[in-house]
Amino acid sequence: MRTRGERRGFRLIAFDGEQAVIAHVDFPRAHRVGKYGVDVDAIDRAAESALTPHRGIGLYLVDEIGKMECLSQRFVSRMRDLLSGRVMLVATVAKRGAGFIAEVKRREDCELWTLDRANRDAVAAEILAWLANR
């Protein structure tokens, strides 16, 4: 979320169209990442709705497993369920971070790609090919 080019907050948008503001510079700072107050309850509700495994879903896309999201124990729990399940998961993971972020990166069953501006278009094709072979 930007105002006159300045980042003011972060909005979560699920594939079903549901939206929630999960962090903002004007939010109380009980839970904080950088200059942003984080609404952990909003992340909890989104995780419950969007990340609970459902029959018939073959692929989950998550952007991102980051510091804000990991303040929610419900998010972490739902992600662990997805990671240990049989459903395919493609997720972006913060470049730096301890706790659950580091845990995901250490998993032997995870394939990691490093994205940057130079390779992001090519890596998308690699991920699609990887998914097709699963």
Q: What is the pLDDT of residue 54?
A: 83
Query: Region 58-63: what's the mean pLDDT?
Result: 92
Tokens of 81: 């369920």
Q: Which CATH superfamily is domain 2-132 in?
A: P-loop containing nucleotide triphosphate hydrolases (3.40.50.300)
Instruction: Outline where the chain has alpha helix (H).
Output: 40-50, 73-84, 99-106, 120-132
Of 61, 102, 108, 105, the C-alpha closest to 82 is 61
Average pLDDT, the chain: 93
> pTM to 2 decimals?
0.90
Residue 43: phi, psi to the nearest 5? -65, -40
